[in-house]
A and B are shown apart, each in its own frame.
Chain A
Amino acid sequence: MPLDDEAIAEIYREHGPMLRRVVWRATSDANRVEDIVQEVILRVWKQAPEADNLRAYLITTARHLIVDQHRAAGRRPQQAQLGEIAESDSALDRALDQVLVEEALGRLQTNHREIVRCLYYERMTVAETSRRVGVPEGTVKSRAYYAVRNLRVILDEMGVTR
């Protein structure tokens, strides 16, 4: 049915750059990035999801593909030990989660991101953050509250549910 060609192209244009970043950061293999991204879109086409929360679906699909390819690569020379597979899978999962958390921080609005940086990564107090950013302490607290909530929503949307 020609009607879904446009839908596929649309998904590819909209989510391709994000997927490419995630896959690249997770695999560090320039030759595979575009192949994996295209395969993700092809799978989505094949499984024909309806379009809501597509981002989580695409990322989960990419995750499965990367893990599967990783396993296949591990098996090829000789059957890898189960433990090894599990171990490298969890390392891969961690790498993927890292990329997704970084992506999520990038999608946070600037003034929320700034608060997360001060309070969490720079271990500043609310009072210090208030001076650095130049807003009252109450504003720091409420921004911290919405930053955490929004981050949770963004991560949920990306399928990072832990």
Chain B
Amino acid sequence: MTTGLDDLHVMLGAYVLGGLSDEDHRTFSEHLRSCRQCQTELGQVSGMPRLLDLAGPEGGPHLTDAQVGAPVPLITEPDDERVATLLGEVGRRRRRRRAWLSVVAAAAAVLIFAGGAWLGPQLLGPSTPTLPTTRVAAAPVAGSQVRIDIALVTRGWGTQLDVVCNDMPTNGELALWVIDRSGKATTAASWRATPAGSSRVTGATALRTNEIQSLEVRTGTGRVLAAAQT
């Protein structure tokens, strides 16, 4: 039997799931040794058997006719009523949040606006794929004129921090510090000041967005230029 390259590549599926004949298994193993593409793809799916095993020996309710486990309890309230309850709660929290915001806004510290981020996709159009993002403007400390905007992007590994700085110092080093809920500060990015006084950098932290208490941009000597509460 002659085996084309495409035939070889697709054997990866049965190689992972099992079921290749001895001859096909040998052929594919040989191919795998020299094929970068298959090696990469195998790396992405080699954990599949372990995941499939989680669904039990028969693969769970979608693969068997028998209903496994108790069914989801029936919801007696009509859907609209639950939506109304939810929106009522949103309204309540929004008012509470707004009251809290107005206190902080006096200090010009925070510009997160919960509802506002929904505007993002509408302004950018629906085709822009984006991750859950919170935007904050860091308020300059007294005597500092810097303008700093930070986007906190929720990632699988933590939080990506996209920083846009303007009117910054024009020499020395700068750093973005992340302070967690326990008050512990760690550096998430450091960069060199530019003569133009503006830069865009991206930092990263293992903290989840809701574990970040505040963000600070400091000079290399540790002077805080601006801070943002989340």
Q: Which residues does A use to contact B, with CB under 8 Å? A: 1, 3-5, 7-9, 12-13, 16, 20-21, 24-25, 28, 30, 33-34, 38, 41-54, 56-57, 64, 94, 97-98, 101-102, 105-106, 113, 115-121, 123-129, 138, 140-149, 151-152, 155, 159-162
Contact A105 B62 (CB under 8 A): yes
List, in ascending order, chain A residues with CB within 8 A of B183's CB.
Answer: none
Whether, in the assembled complex, B90 has its beta carbon less than 8 Å from a beta carbon of chain A, the answer is yes
Given contacts A113-B62, A120-B49, 10 further A-B contacts (CB under 8 A): A16-B82, A47-B132, A50-B132, A52-B129, A52-B130, A53-B129, A102-B62, A116-B17, A145-B9, A148-B48
Chain B 137-177 near chain A by CB (<8 Å), digits 1 or 0: 00000000000000000101000000000000000000000
Whether, in the assembled complex, B180 has its beta carbon less than 8 Å from a beta carbon of chain A, the answer is no
The one of B47, B48, B90, B134 that contacts A8, using a Cβ cutoff of 8 Å: B90
Q: How far is the CB of A120 from chain B (nearest CB, A)?
A: 5
The one of B52, B57, B82, B129 that contacts A101, using a Cβ cutoff of 8 Å: B52
List, in ascending order, chain B residues with CB within 8 A of A159's CB.
Answer: 156
Chain B positions 97-152 with a Cβ under 8 Å from a chain A Cβ: 97, 112-121, 129-134
Contact B54 A98 (CB under 8 A): yes
Contact B55 A102 (CB under 8 A): yes
Query: Assuming the A-B contacts A38-B86, A38-B89, A50-B131, are A101 and B55 also in contact, with contact meaning beta carbons closer than 8 angstroms in the complex?
Result: yes
Top 5 nearest A-B pairs (CB, nearest first) are A49-B132, A144-B13, A145-B13, A102-B60, A48-B117
Contact A120 B52 (CB under 8 A): yes
The one of A9, A51, A101, A113 that contacts B130, using a Cβ cutoff of 8 Å: A51
Whether, in the assembled complex, B220 has its beta carbon less than 8 Å from a beta carbon of chain A, the answer is no
The one of A12, A46, A50, A121 that contacts B114, using a Cβ cutoff of 8 Å: A46
Measured CA separation A46–B112 after assembly (Å): 10
Q: How far is the CB of A152 from chain B (nearest CB, A)?
A: 5
Q: How many pairs of residues, A versus B, come closer than 8 Å at their CB atoms?
A: 205
List, in ascending order, chain A residues with CB within 8 A of B129's CB.
Answer: 52-53
The one of A8, A101, A145 that contacts B54, using a Cβ cutoff of 8 Å: A101
Measured CA separation A46–B17 after assembly (Å): 42
List, in ascending order, chain A residues with CB within 8 A of B70's CB.
Answer: 28
Measured CA separation A144–B90 after assembly (Å): 45
Q: How far is the CB of A14 from chain B (nearest CB, A)?
A: 12
Query: Assuming the A-B contacts A42-B86, A50-B120, are A141 and B11 also in contact, with contact meaning beta carbons closer than 8 angstroms in the complex?
Result: yes
Contact B114 A45 (CB under 8 A): yes
CB nearest to B70 among chain A residues: A28
Q: How far is the CB of A79 from chain B (nearest CB, A)?
A: 18
Measured CA separation A80–B58 after assembly (Å): 35
Contact A123 B18 (CB under 8 A): yes
Q: How far is the CB of A128 from chain B (nearest CB, A)?
A: 8
Query: Assuming the A-B contacts A33-B73, A113-B63, A144-B13, are A42 and B54 also in contact, with contact meaning beta carbons closer than 8 angstroms in the complex?
Result: no
Measured CA separation A119–B24 after assembly (Å): 15
Contact B44 A48 (CB under 8 A): no
Chain B 1-43 near chain A by CB (<8 Å), digits 1 or 0: 0000001011111101111110010000000000000000100
Contact A21 B21 (CB under 8 A): no
Residue of B56, B59, B113, B133 contacting most chain A CB atoms (<10 Å): B59
Measured CA separation A52–B97 after assembly (Å): 25
List, in ascending order, chain B residues with CB within 8 A of A123's CB.
Answer: 18-19
List, in ascending order, chain B residues with CB within 8 A of A147's CB.
Answer: 13, 17
Q: How far is the CB of B113 from chain A (nearest CB, A)?
A: 8
Contact A49 B133 (CB under 8 A): yes
List, in ascending order, chain A residues with CB within 8 A of B78's CB.
Answer: none
Q: How far is the CB of B216 from chain A (nearest CB, A)?
A: 21
